[in-house]
Chains A and B, each alone.
Chain A
Amino acid sequence: MYRTVAQLDSLTSLLAGWFPGYFQRYRLPEDSVEGRPVHALRLRAGTATNRRGVLLIGGTHSRELMNPDALAELAVDMLVSHINGTDITYGGFTMPAATVKTIMESMDLWFVPCINPDGRHYVMTVDDLWRKNRRDNPGTACDGVDLNRNCDFLWGVAQGQTSCSPCSDVYCGPSAFSEPETRNVKHLLDNHRMVTFVDVHSYSELVLWPWGHAPIQSHDPSQRFTGLPTGTCTASIPRGYAEYLDPRDHQRFSTVGATIVDAIGQVRGRSYVSKPSLDLYATTGTFDDYAYSRHIANPALDKTYGFTFETGPWTGDARTSFHPSDPEPIKRDTKAGLLTLMQQSICAVDFIGLKVGSARTGVEVARAIRDRRLAASATGRNLIRRFEEVSPALGAAVATRPRFAKRVGKLLRRLAELADDPGARLTDDDVQQLASVLERVRHRDTDLQSVARDASLATIPHLAGKTLDEAIDLLSQGHAAGTA
């Protein structure tokens, strides 16, 4: 069953009304083309401020009906889990209550279940295969802009499934962000620190990530979309062009995508596939590419990892694939995938900064070391990957074990001291403290054991007497452990 626009609005209104300690409901700055309000629902628990955000949107393409329902229901499931302290289970997939708690207490979860209410209403009352919004395109007999071609990312480049023709179902609109519905999403990205973004579509059972316009390459940073013309209304991307994707980000998209696919498979055995958007078909102006591209187009902006889900299988024809008579199993797959994406968005180090206020400077130092030093070498990136894999479990340990959080916080404070004084050297005690935390992890947390065993960490006993700079070099290269 599917909810009407009014029923979705009612659900988010009830949640915000009944549970104001968890939910805040925001009317976004612009109403839809036909004057309907568009709401965002922010879910959080705990009192920490200055959090990372995850933005989840649905209903972009009107006929892909099940995703707005799945998003709204996921918000309910998380609330119930947090209040009752119960695990969330979808079929064979379980997310422990402690992990849900960590997600909700470390981040802000922003849900916009239906960014395109006019389109959804039209699907339910006139045309069940309508895709776009309900813009009246002046001078034509055709309505609608494809909201997922309207973003300011190579806007108006008619590559693959993108068109400048108002009668096309993939019409990119008269200008980038010409539509109030897309501007609302931009508003959220502009005004909140979103580390992860996902636009939930149907169908095909895919987890997609950048890029959508060209193949990926990771060797030539000078080959970037910022050098390509926009608004050409032709397929103007040169043949043979490949878009640069930072190796660390490529690794992260691949790793997170694979983790999501695995989680969805646990629900009832569906085999989703994780891959770059281009593999579905070429596009420009999409939300996921735009969200990720922002920090490249404007280096002053924080990075947002952008994903697109294509939920649900092919059912034998397009109509029932877009809105099957029983969407419940697909919604459970989707919710498992979205929860996993949120889980993967936890940064344990950030979370420690929230929990142990005095460790915040150390968090900044750790982030800088990760982005500027470790990310520059293959060994360093491997260490980042291992850390990110266990970050959710580490976050849960921090959330549930205050003494452990304090010890990690102390390490971060010491890190800040070392960064502050380039001549300072790691002491035997520093090394012992670090080894002791890892030893604790190795013995108590099955989920964390892999990072504690990482070959790069075999360098730790050799760090005493080194400056922070030298220590990072050793970790990045794994020299002392012979792992280079």
Chain B
Amino acid sequence: MTQGSDSSASRERIELVIELDETRDLDSVEKLDLDRVPDPEGRVRVLVSEDQLRRLQQDGFTVELQQRIRVEALDPSLVYTDDDARAWVESRLEGLPREREAE
């Protein structure tokens, strides 16, 4: 299997906030092509791999580690079963005169 982007190729992502200063500004972060995600305070929040984190530190960026996240499938308990998905639509449309039955 081919790998995903840098941050998902490893078994773990790291969520962190990069502190900007006069020498390490937003432009210098953007050049690193990291997976930036919205931050409630407008800070530079990214999801990175261990390698990317190491490079950031080697380049002198100050980072604030938020959490380590295992690369894994969505929690199956968050996904509808086929029966539940069908029951949802049946209940929402209950009593409505169908123009025809689905093929």
Residues in chain A within 8 A of chain B (CB atoms): 1-4, 6-7, 10-11, 13-14, 17-21, 65, 76, 79-80, 83-84, 123-132, 136, 141-144, 160-161, 163, 165, 167-171, 203-204, 235, 280-282, 310, 314, 317-319, 321-323, 325
Contact = CB atoms under 8 A, between A and B. Distances in A.
Contacts of A325: 78
Interface in B46-103: 47, 66-67, 69, 71-75, 78-80, 82, 84-86, 89, 92-93, 96-103
A169 B7 contact: yes
Contacts of A170: 33, 35-36
Contact of A129 (B2, B69, B101): B69
Contacts of A2: 74, 78-80
B22 interface: no
A123 B79 CA distance: 11
Interface residues of B, number: 48
Nearest to A125: B73
Given A142-B6, A144-B5, A318-B37, 19 more contacts: A2-B79, A10-B82, A10-B86, A18-B98, A76-B93, A80-B96, A123-B74, A124-B73, A127-B73, A128-B72, A131-B5, A167-B6, A168-B34, A169-B7, A169-B34, A203-B38, A314-B39, A321-B38, A322-B37
A17 B82 CA distance: 18
B93 A7 contact: no
Given A10-B85, A123-B74, A127-B72, A142 B102 contact: no
Contact of B3 (A1, A10, A141): A141
B85 A7 contact: yes
Contact of A142 (B3, B39, B74, B103): B3
A241 to B, nearest CB: 15
Contacts of B38: 203-204, 280, 310, 314, 321
Interface of B: 2-9, 13, 15, 27, 30, 33-40, 45, 47, 66-67, 69, 71-75, 78-80, 82, 84-86, 89, 92-93, 96-103
Contact of B30 (A3, A17, A203, A235): A235
A7 B30 CA distance: 38
Most buried by A among B36, B47, B89, B100: B89
A127 B4 contact: yes
A161 B82 contact: no
A14 B5 CA distance: 36
A343 to B, nearest CB: 22
A314 B6 CA distance: 24
Contacts of A14: 89, 102
B69 A319 contact: yes
Nearest to A168: B33
A318 B47 contact: yes
B84 to A, nearest CB: 7
A168 B5 contact: yes
B5 A18 contact: no
A5 to B, nearest CB: 11
Contacts of B69: 129, 318-319
Nearest to B103: A17
Given A1-B78, A128-B73, A318 B45 contact: yes
A143 B5 contact: yes
A19 B86 CA distance: 16
Contacts of B79: 1-4, 124
A144 B4 CA distance: 7
A11 to B, nearest CB: 6
A310 B37 CA distance: 12
A14 B90 CA distance: 10
A168 B33 CA distance: 6
B5 A169 contact: yes
Nearest to A202: B38
A25 to B, nearest CB: 11
7 closest A-B pairs by beta carbon, nearest first, are A17-B102, A168-B33, A169-B35, A314-B40, A7-B85, A128-B74, A204-B38
